[in-house]
């Protein structure tokens, strides 16, 4: 499947969304809870988590385990939901720091591997499905510092969707963590979008193959396929967001 660039369509949808703001009270709470479950399920499912969206909701909201499902899958759901809550706290700011990225990873990962949660990896890695050589552990601190230092410039120079795409692709190309890099990158991507006024954007498991292909292209410096894919995912998420807003505002 080929994805066209839909940034202009996204701009039109964003104008519609802005007309519904500000959203407050119970309506805002319901919308955030819906997106919290949707993003947690989809981001984990992209990495092979076996929980369905309904099971993810039960684990997060009711604290009930699902029989026959791995404990790790439950930890991933709970941890990602906590990272989503932190995302909301950061959304009102206009900056992204190295500490923010580390904390997002820590919140998601500490139940799974406390020693490595929120810390850069101390070992070399091989990622299945790509022959790209990721940076050595000794390079990570400098690469991440340079990356974070560039964020204000990227924010100023790029369209919000391109900005979010670049944060995602640069983080996964550095691959600073022993595990959870994809989820950390999608959280960071959504933080960038939220701070620019865009709704939470979900990349559904049905486009996993295309998503991974675009990520592999971005590892080698070709970010256009990922920008195009993300613009389509933003557009779809905006459409869903408008549907929810219209449902919440019915008289």
Sorted by where each starts, the structural domains of the chain and their CATH numbers stand as: 7-122+132-248 (1.10.3290.10)
Given a cut of 90, whether residue 249 has pLDDT beyond it is no
153-171, pLDDT tens digit by residue?
999 999 999 999 999 999 9
Spatial separation of the C-alpha atoms in residues 184 and 152, rounded to whole Å: 19
Tell me which residues are annotated as active site. 175
Q: Is the dihedral of CA 90, 57, 178, 185 positive or negative?
A: negative
Q: Is the pLDDT of residue 183 over 90?
A: yes
**Is it the case that residue 15 has pLDDT exceeding 80?**
yes
The mean per-residue pLDDT over the stretch 193-207 comes to: 97
Q: Average of pLDDT values for 69-73? A: 97
Cβ(193)–Cβ(17) under 8 Å? no
- Tell me which DSSP letter residue 64 carries: P
Note whether 181 and 171 are within 8 A (CB): yes
> Which pLDDT tens digit goes with each residue over 114-134?
999 999 999 999 988 888 999
Closest CA to 133 of 28, 220, 25: 220
Q: What is the pLDDT of residue 209?
A: 96
Please report the pLDDT score of residue 34 as a whole number: 96
Cα(224)–Cα(169) distance, integer angstroms: 11
**Residue 116 contacts residue 217 (beta carbons within 8 Å):** no
The rounded percent of the chain whose pLDDT value lies above 90 is 91
């Amino acid at each position: 499947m080929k994805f066209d660039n839909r940034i202009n369509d996204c701009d039109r949808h964003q104008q519609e969304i802005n007309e519904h703001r500000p959203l407050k009270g119970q309506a805002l709470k319901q919308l955030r809870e819906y997106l919290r479950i949707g993003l947690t399920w989809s981001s984990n499912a992209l990495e092979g988590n076996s929980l369905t969206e309904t099971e993810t909701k039960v684990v997060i909201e009711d604290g009930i385990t699902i029989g026959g499902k791995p404990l790790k899958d439950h930890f991933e759901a709970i941890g990602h939901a906590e990272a989503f809550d932190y995302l909301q706290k950061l959304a009102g700011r206009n900056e992204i720091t190295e500490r923010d990225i580390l904390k997002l990873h820590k919140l998601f990962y500490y139940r799974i591997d406390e020693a490595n949660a929120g810390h850069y990896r101390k070992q070399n890695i091989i990622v299945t499905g790509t022959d790209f050589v990721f940076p050595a552990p000794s390079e990570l601190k400098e690469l991440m510092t340079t990356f974070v230092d560039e964020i204000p410039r990227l924010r100023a120079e790029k369209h919000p969707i391109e900005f979010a795409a670049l944060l995602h692709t640069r983080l996964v190309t550095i691959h600073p963590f022993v595990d959870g890099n994809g989820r950390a990158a999608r959280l960071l991507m959504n933080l960038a979008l939220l701070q620019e006024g865009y709704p939470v954007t979900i990349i559904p498991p049905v486009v996993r193959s295309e998503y991974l292909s675009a990520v592999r292209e971005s590892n080698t410096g070709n970010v256009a396929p990922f920008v195009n894919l993300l613009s389509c995912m933003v557009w779809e998420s905006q459409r869903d967001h408008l549907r929810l807003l219209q449902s919440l505002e019915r008289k």
